A and B are shown apart, each in its own frame.
Chain A
Amino acid sequence: GESVGLHLPTLSVQEGDNSIINCAYSNSASDYFIWYKQESGKGPQFIIDIRSNMDKRQGQRVTVLLNKTVKHLSLQIAATQPGDSAVYFCAESPGGFKTIFGAGTRLFVKA
C-alpha cells in the first residue's frame, strides 16, 4: 500500500549548522510532496512543497530535493536556529487531494 517513511527518527544539530532530514516514499503516483513542521501540542505547519515533475525547490532557508529514481525526499534547513526544533513530517498527496503523512523526524537544535 501507500507509505511514506523516514530514515532517521531523531536529528541533533548545532545552532548555525545546516540540517538535512530524509524521507523515503513508495507511491510513485503522488503528484505533490510536502514537508510539515509540528511543534509540541500543535497542528502541522506547512513548510514547503514540491511537485513531482521537479527535483528541487527552494524557500526561505529551506530546500526540498526530490529524487524520483530512488523515491527519496529531503529537507535541507540552512543555518538551523533553536526555533527550528520540532518534529518534521514528509507527506505525499496522490492526485493533490488527501495527504498521507510519513513517520516524522524530531530535530533538536543545540545552542
Chain B
Amino acid sequence: GAVVSQHPSRVICKSGTSVKIECRSLDFQATTMFWYRQFPKKSLMLMATSNEGSKATYEQGVEKDKFLINHASLTLSTLTVTSAHPEDSSFYICSAREAGGTVIPHEQFFGPGTRLTVL
C-alpha cells in the first residue's frame, strides 16, 4: 500500500515550452502533497505544499507563476513548469500524506521522481 506514482518519469522539452508533471496517490487519498526539486548530487529542496481544493503554499524563493501547482482531487496533484528554461532542468519529486488516517504525523510517501531536461 501507500504507493505514489509520477508521470512522466522522464521528459525532454524545448526552451520556452511548458511541461506538466503528475503526482498520483494510487491506493490512498492525500489531502496534502509536497513538491521537491533535486539537483544532481544535491539534497531535496521543498518547493511547495499542495493542498486539495485550495491554493498551494510556496516556499520562499520559489516563483509561483513559474511553477503552477493544482491539487484538483484527493489523488492527483500536478506541477506545471511554465516557459521552461535550461536552468529548470532538474529531478522533481512529489510526496503525499494520507488524509486523516496515519498515526505518524510526518509520514510521507514519495514518488519515483520525474527527470526534466530543457534544451
Contacts and interface: CB of A to CB of B under 8 A. Distances in A.
A99 B34 contact: yes
B25 interface: no
B67 interface: no
Contact of B113 (A32, A34, A41): A41
A14 interface: no
Interface in B1-49: 4, 34, 36, 41-46, 49
A43 B93 contact: yes
B85 interface: no
Contacts of B43: 89, 101-104
A44 to B, nearest CB: 5
Contacts of A95: 105
Interface in B74-119: 93, 95, 104-108, 110-113, 115
Contacts of B93: 43-44
B106 A32 contact: yes
A31 interface: yes
A43 B112 contact: yes
Given A41-B115, A43-B113, A98 B49 contact: yes
Contact of A99 (B4, B41, B106): B106
Interface of A: 31-32, 34, 41-46, 49, 89, 93, 95-104
16 contacts: A32-B105, A41-B113, A43-B4, A43-B95, A43-B112, A45-B110, A93-B106, A96-B105, A98-B46, A99-B46, A99-B106, A99-B108, A101-B36, A101-B43, A101-B45, A102-B43
Given A43-B112, A101-B44, 5 more contacts: A32-B105, A43-B93, A95-B105, A96-B106, A98-B49
Interface of B: 4, 34, 36, 41-46, 49, 93, 95, 104-108, 110-113, 115
